[in-house]
Amino acid sequence: MEREMINKSSKNNKKGFTLVELIATIVVLALVVGISSYAVIGLIQSSKEKNYELLITSIKDAAETYYQECTYSNNTGITCGNTVTLNDLLTYGYLKGNDSDHDNSIINPKDNENIGACQISISYLSGKVEVSAVNPTGSCPTEY
């Protein structure tokens, strides 16, 4: 009877996982989560950089169209100048804003700040329209 209890007892001890197995599983899961979160963060950062580049391109295109229409057409109904804010380009319809919650604003994708008040200077040099920042502060783009 004692021998039977010992055998029964040893059978019960073999059910389940050892502490080492549990720790190894936790370590492997932690590594998988760490590596995948690092990859996701990299993708998010890359996406923000690409969105920023697209924003800069669309600002340049909008400024060029604004300049050409102001220069060659007097029927635009727009007060033309060499310095304009991004909000002006948005208001005149040259630039599309971020239409989140009906807030038609221009958001810098790098830091989610509104950059509508940023001013740009538009000039015509060497046969092409040049766009440059005017007193950039905060998250206003400095390069165009």
Token pair of 83, please? Answer: 């310095």
Q: What is the pLDDT of residue 57?
A: 95
Q: What is the pLDDT of residue 137?
A: 86
Q: What are the strands, taking DSSP E only, across the chain?
A: 83-85, 98-100, 103-105, 107-108, 113-114, 119-125, 128-134
Q: What is the pLDDT of residue 49?
A: 95
Q: What is the pLDDT of residue 138?
A: 87
Number of residues assigned to the chain: 144
Q: In this structure, are residues 106 and 115 in contact, taking their beta carbons and an 8 Å threshold?
A: yes
Q: What is the pLDDT of residue 97?
A: 83
Q: What is the pLDDT of residue 100?
A: 62
Could you give the dihedral angle defined by the CA atoms of residues 45, 49, 52 and 54, in that order, rounded to the nearest 10 degrees? -120
At 18 the three-state DSSP class reads coil
Q: What is the pLDDT of residue 135?
A: 86
pTM value? 0.72
Q: What is the pLDDT of residue 80?
A: 78
Q: What is the pLDDT of residue 78?
A: 66
Which residues face 128 on adjacent strands?
A: 125
Q: Which helix (H) or strand (E) holds 124?
A: strand 119-125
Distance CA 86, CA 106 (A): 8
Counting as low any pLDDT under 50, the low residues of the chain are none
